[in-house]
Amino acid sequence: MRPWRLVRGAWRRSIQLRVITATLALSLVVVSLLGVTLSRQITDGLLQAHAEAAVADAAAGVDSAQRTLAVSDAPPDELRQTITRIVETLAASGNTSAASDPLYEIVVLGDEGARTYRSGVSPRSVPDSLRERVADEERIFRTYTSIHYLDGREVPGLAVGGQITDPYGGDYELYYLFPLTEQQQTVDLVLTALATAGVLLIMLLCALAWLVARQVVTPVRLAARIAERFSAGNLAERMAVRGRDDLARLAMSFNQMAASLQHQIGQLEDLSRMQQQFVSDVSHELRTPLTTVRMAADVLYESRGQFDPTVERSVELLQAQLDRFEALLTDLLEISRFDAGAAALNAGRYDVRDIVHKVVDAATPLAVEKGSELVVDVPVEPAMAEVDDRRIERIVRNLVVNAVEHGEGHDVRVTVAADDHAVAVAVRDHGVGLKPGESSLVFHRFWRADPARARTTGGTGLGLSIALEDARLHGGWLQAWGEPGEGSQFRLTLPRLAGDDLRSSPLALVPDDVGDGGLVDAGSIGEPYRRILPSRAEPDDASSPVSSAAPPEEAPAAPAASAEEVGRRA
């Protein structure tokens, strides 16, 4: 089965192979038809000319024998010798040279049995079908047959016969057997020449097809390789332009497109760098006035009991908004580090169960306030992995707080599982779920599913963007499933060893409690936020922030709900 797959793969990948194969097949058909037609015409021409001459000789011999018998006055007992002399006279004319084979052999068949004239020919060389026709009509008939010699030889031949009658009313059948050895040799030589010419013609056509296909396919392959390098980030790649034909126009068009894309990408990169620098500068510049305002607000907050109720409430609101503003600046600085490629992973060996318990303990008061209960399901064995505990805690905290806020007062389940290669954390809620189309927006910065809905937990709108970058920094997956009315489930999968590639996850992406009616979108739906890197030398980072797509065995099967590497933001 493997060779067939290799052949099928080569057939799908190579235009040149398909062109040569198609040319070979068509050439075989055309050459075969042409060879069969020519061989038939040549064979028929050779045999027809020889058959006409043979029929003429046989007709003359039969007529001569009949005339001789008609005027013979031999008594019946001597008639056999008379026929023998007549036939020997006819047969003698078929041997033009003592050193060569006779032109024909003669066989006489009658009521008294069969007798051959000329040595070594068997009477069974005359087919029964020819005898029946000769016996029924007084005409000359012919047919192709095999001449059998008494020494065992068998050669192709032509049998021509007619009927003769003696003066006493006895009927005899006189047959001329013409060997076709020379004609067969000529036909064999012609067929060999045609076959050789056909093979050479097919080889020539295949060579021409290979040459033509190579001239056409080589520039296309070159364009494909250049396009691959171009898409990998080598924006200076260009095709060589030779001549003024169609391929040259293709190369010029490709180069113009590449130059335009390079210019536009350069502009976008410059704009992105300006935006990143602006966010970083603003975040740093706001730190100093924020610190001053924070100090003054802390003094007012500590003395709020001395103010009247209206002023006291204003001080509390000021303190809360300053907390949120400070958190926003912290998130902006973190995002700017990711955008600049300056985020570093301080990995160590940690038990992911401990991180989850720490997050759940901190989120329990919020869950109580929302009327939800946090249910934790962890394995008995330690779930050790080489991770940055601060970043993993931040990811899990974002997922848990998100689930509590959108859980509509239902229980939130946090599950931890591990296998030999990976550790996974899944957060399941039974809230509003994800609507179709929202999955393409959930990782946009500052995006909310319901713009009219206030952030009751003080979120900045950057939590899941940062969580996705943290997962990518670990070489992990951050994926989500959601369906309106069924809630959602977010799954974080991390390799046990830093730098290992993930192949599967210990937890299923689709929850077990989803009924048969819960359909899942095939593949990742929507694209998370994609940043433009400041350097063109890192093409891999220009793709999705998630390090890799979902494992093949977990690819969803039907297009209705939302299973994707994206999440919902509070």
What the block records as the tokens of 187 is 């036909």
Q: What does the alpha-carbon distance between residue 315 and residue 292 come to, in Å, rounded to a whole number?
A: 16
Task: Give the number of other CB atoms < 10 A from CB of residue 383.
Answer: 24
Helix pair 79-92, 15-70: axis angle to 10 deg: 140
The CATH number of residue 311's host domain is: 1.10.287.130
**Amino acid, res. 295:** M
275 and 323 housed in the same domain: yes
Q: Are residues 327 and 442 in the same domain?
A: no
Tokens 């848990």 belong to 400
Answer whether residue 560 shows pLDDT above 90.
no
Do 312 and 405 have their domain in common? no
In sign, the C-alpha dihedral spanning 229, 230, 231, 234 is positive
Q: Kindly report the backbone phi and psi dihedral angles of residue 86, in degrees, each rounded to the nearest multiple of 5, phi listed first.
A: -60, -45
351 and 425 in a single domain? The answer is: yes
User: Does 450 fall in a domain?
Assistant: yes
Q: Does some domain include residue 200?
A: no
Q: Which residue has the higher pLDDT, 68 or 410?
A: 410
Calpha distance 19→212 (Å, rounded): 9
Q: Give yes or no for residue 495 having a pLDDT over 90.
A: yes
- Of 187, 208, 225, the position where a domain reaches its end is 187
Q: What is the pLDDT of residues 496-507, one digit of tens each?
A: 998 888 888 999
Indicate if the pLDDT at residue 568 is higher than 80: no
| 36 lies in the same domain as 85 | yes
Is residue 12, in this structure, part of any structural domain at all?
A: no
Whether 133 and 264 map to the same domain: the answer is no
Give the CATH number, domain containing residue 477: 3.30.565.10
100-109, 122-131, 236-245, 525-534: least confidently modelled range: 525-534
Looking at the structure, tell me whether residues 51 and 142 fall in a common domain.
yes
3 located within any domain: no
Mean pLDDT across the stretch 261-284? Answer: 80
User: How many domains are there within the chain?
Assistant: 3
Question: Any idea which of 111-120, 241-250, 396-405, 549-558 has the lowest mean pLDDT?
Answer: 549-558
Confidence check: pLDDT of 456 > 60: no
167 within a domain of the structure (yes/no): yes
Provide the domain limits for residue 308.
246-338
Q: 52-56, 92-96, 218-222, 409-413 — which is least confidently predicted?
A: 92-96
Predicted confidence (pLDDT) at residue 176 exceeds the cutoff of 70: yes
- pLDDT tens digits, 16-41: 788 888 888 888 898 889 888 888 88
Q: How confident is the model at residue 459 (pLDDT cuts 50, 70, 90)?
A: low
CATH number of the structural domain spanning residue 119: 3.30.450.20
Same domain, 26 and 94: yes
> Per DSSP, what are the bridge partners of residue 487?
483
Residue 376: inside a domain: yes
**Is the pLDDT reported for residue 457 higher than 60?**
no
In eight-state DSSP terms, residue 244 is S
- Least confident interval from 341-350, 405-414, 443-452: 443-452
* Mean pLDDT score of the chain: 78
Q: What is the arrangement of strands in the sheet containing 477-483, beginning at the earlier edge strand? A: 374-377, 412-418, 422-429, 487-495, 477-483, 562-564
Note whether 138 and 275 are same-domain residues. Answer: no
Q: Which of the 8 DSSP states describes residue 454?
A: -
Whether 52 and 70 map to the same domain: the answer is yes
Q: Among the three residues 338, 365, 383, which one is the final residue of a domain in this structure? A: 338
Indicate whether 84 and 170 sit together in one domain.
yes
User: Cβ distance 189 to 160 under 8 Å?
Assistant: no
Of 338, 359, 390, the position where a domain reaches its end is 338
Q: Same structural domain for residues 334 and 351?
A: no
Contact by Cβ (8 Å): 102, 116? no
- Window from 137-146, 285-294, 309-318 with minimum mean pLDDT: 285-294
496 in any annotated domain: yes
Q: What radius of gyration do the chain's Cα atoms show?
A: 49
**Confidence grade of residue 99 (pLDDT, cut at 50, 70, 90):** very low
Query: Which pLDDT score is estimated for 396?
Result: 93
Indicate if the pLDDT at residue 545 is higher than 50: no
Average pLDDT over residues 489-517: 85
Structural domain includes residue 514: yes
